[in-house]
Amino acid sequence: MTPAPLPLSVVVPVYNEEGNVAPLVREILAALRGVTAFEIVYVDDCSTDGTLAALAALKADVPELRVVRHVSNAGQSTAIRNGVKAARGAWIATLDGDGQNDPADIPKLLETRDASPADVRMFAGWRVKRQDSGSKRWASKWANAIRASMLKDATPDTGCGIKLFERAAFLELPYFDHMHRYLPALMQRAGWKTVSVPVNHRPRGAGVSKYNNLGRALVGIRDLRGVAWLIARSRRTAVEEV
């Protein structure tokens, strides 16, 4: 039997986040139980620590929790996409697995969606008070400025992990590694509108960051040129049956 659809799926990609799994799941439950029907889909990107064991232990007590696992490490964008493909929710909320995004912001995103026009299909978190190191904030500031000047996506914080978007619209987007950094621009390319919503941001709960500023910059230059090319080559038109 095909599982019944749900209004919302919360997709959380993780790689070596053993210490953050249980606290974040508890926060998601506290934020959404009694608000809407939902599921939590964790995607383990072939962790080498106790992340998968921690998730398996939680499943016995958390009926909303589902876990899928990559058989080889594939990165955050692939984990998000596979989580969305596995999800049953008509709408998807994403969270980073390090605990820096606050699940209590998900109801705010849902309220903003309900008050918005139907052609808005993505609500992107905007970390107005970032809790990262000075070098990371500086690098992100310049990266956002360069991206905005090239892509014209009117999104002040495209790298924020907490987002709410329609599942069907997401699955129509072109897929490539690191696409999660360009989701507002890609949604706009597909003809949908996006809205940025101020959200909370917190220090990492446990573990260490999997990224560095230089690595992000080198990959980002190539990806930015590619997304700009996609936007320039895009054509859209309404379709009618005759």
In this prediction, residue 97 carries a pLDDT of 96
In this prediction, residue 147 carries a pLDDT of 76
89 token code pair: 């929710």
Give me the residues of the chain with pLDDT under 50, please. 1, 213-214
In this prediction, residue 146 carries a pLDDT of 77
In this prediction, residue 15 carries a pLDDT of 97
pLDDT digits (tens, 9 = 90+) for 88-104: 999 999 999 999 999 99
In this prediction, residue 205 carries a pLDDT of 76
In this prediction, residue 238 carries a pLDDT of 85
- DSSP for the chain, please give it: -PPPPEEEEEEEEESS-HHHHHHHHHHHHHHHTTT--EEEEEEE---SSSHHHHHHHHHTT-TTEEEEE-SS---HHHHHHHHHHH--EEEEEE--TTS-B-GGGHHHHHHHHHTS-TTEEEEEEEESS--S-HHHHHHHHHHHHHHHHHH----TTTT-S-EEEEHHHHHTSPP-TTGGGGHHHHHHHTT-EEEEEEE-B----SS--S--HHHHHHHHHHHHHHHHHHHHT---------
15: left (phi > 0), else alpha (psi -120 to 50), else beta? beta
Q: What CATH number has the domain spanning 6-232?
A: 3.90.550.10
* Rounded Cα distance, 221 and 238, in Å: 33
In this prediction, residue 87 carries a pLDDT of 98
In this prediction, residue 150 carries a pLDDT of 85
In this prediction, residue 152 carries a pLDDT of 87
